[in-house]
Homo-oligomer: A and B are copies of this chain.
Amino acid sequence: MEEQKNVRRRGDDLLESLYEVTMKLMEEIKPTNITFQQIAEAAKTSRSVLYRRWPTTFDLLQDIYTYKAQRLFDGDFLDEMKDTGSLRGDFIQFLNFYQQMYKEIGAEVLNNYFYLRMQDKENNKEPVVHTAALDKYIRAMETILEKAQSRGEEVKKVSKATLMLPFDMIRMENLVRPDNISNKRLESMVDEVLLPVFKV
């Protein structure tokens, strides 16, 4: 017997509320063990609402993290990049932007997003968010390297996979050593890795 549910919301309001409630529930209950029943109760809505949208909790989780990641990548933080006058400075700024991005939405969101995407590879859902973010990233990297060139700092020609190195490194740090990302660490990533790799 489901009690009176009095809040009545529609569309995005409802959706965001469901996302929030689910995220909050996951602070106590592990994603593997969460149920639609619990979510419906906590969100003060009916299970029908959930089943109309998602066949299983897994699909709900996928949507949650895709939504969060989308908002993240849609941000225009890269537009705010300035020419710092040196490749080193540009790299540090670049890493700082991405690190900021991880901090704002939380490393867990991004890590979960990437993980759930991977679990679903057989379904081959369109990785819209992912590719959009990658395009943005690649363009930013190319700009940085071109500016260095025109500034007189000679730059190496690298493969596309290697061009992903800064992005990969930030991701790895947030996945494996999330508590350990200081400004000093970002600088050492630039001085010990990025500059030797990209600068002649």
Q: Mark A18-43, 1 if CB is under 8 A from B, else 0.
A: 00000000000011111000000000
Please name 17 further chain A to chain B contacts, defined as beta carbons within 8 Å, in addition to the given A30-B56, A33-B57, A165-B193, sorted by A numbering.
A30-B119, A31-B32, A32-B32, A32-B34, A32-B61, A33-B56, A33-B58, A108-B118, A112-B115, A114-B175, A159-B188, A159-B192, A162-B188, A168-B169, A171-B172, A171-B176, A196-B196
Chain A, interface size: which category? 35 or more
**Neighbour of A175 across the interface among B118, B177, B185, CB < 8 A:** B118
Q: A129 contacts the other chain (Cβ, under 8 Å)?
A: no
* In the complex, chain B residues whose CB is within 8 Å of the CB of A33: 56-58
Q: A96 contacts the other chain (Cβ, under 8 Å)?
A: no
Interface centre among A108, A112, A159, A192 (most CB of B within 10 A): A192
Minimum Cβ distance to chain B for residue A188 (Å): 5
Q: A158 contacts the other chain (Cβ, under 8 Å)?
A: yes
Report the copy number of this chain in the oligomer.
2
A contact set with B: CB distance below 8 Å: 30-34, 56-58, 61, 108, 111-112, 114-115, 118-120, 156, 158-159, 161-162, 164-165, 168-169, 171-172, 175-177, 180, 185, 188-189, 192-193, 196-197
Chain A at the B interface: SS class: helix
Minimum Cβ distance to chain B for residue A191 (Å): 9
Residue ID in chain B nearest A33 by CB atoms? B56
**Neighbour of A115 across the interface among B111, B161, B168, B188, CB < 8 A:** B111
* In the complex, chain B residues whose CB is within 8 Å of the CB of A161: 177, 180, 185, 188-189
Alpha-carbon separation in the docked complex, A111 to B111 (Å): 11
Could you show 7 A-B contacts with beta carbons less than 8 Å apart?
A: A30-B56, A108-B118, A111-B115, A111-B118, A115-B115, A161-B189, A168-B168
* In the complex, chain B residues whose CB is within 8 Å of the CB of A30: 56, 58, 119-120
Minimum Cβ distance to chain B for residue A138 (Å): 14
Alpha-carbon separation in the docked complex, A185 to B164 (Å): 13
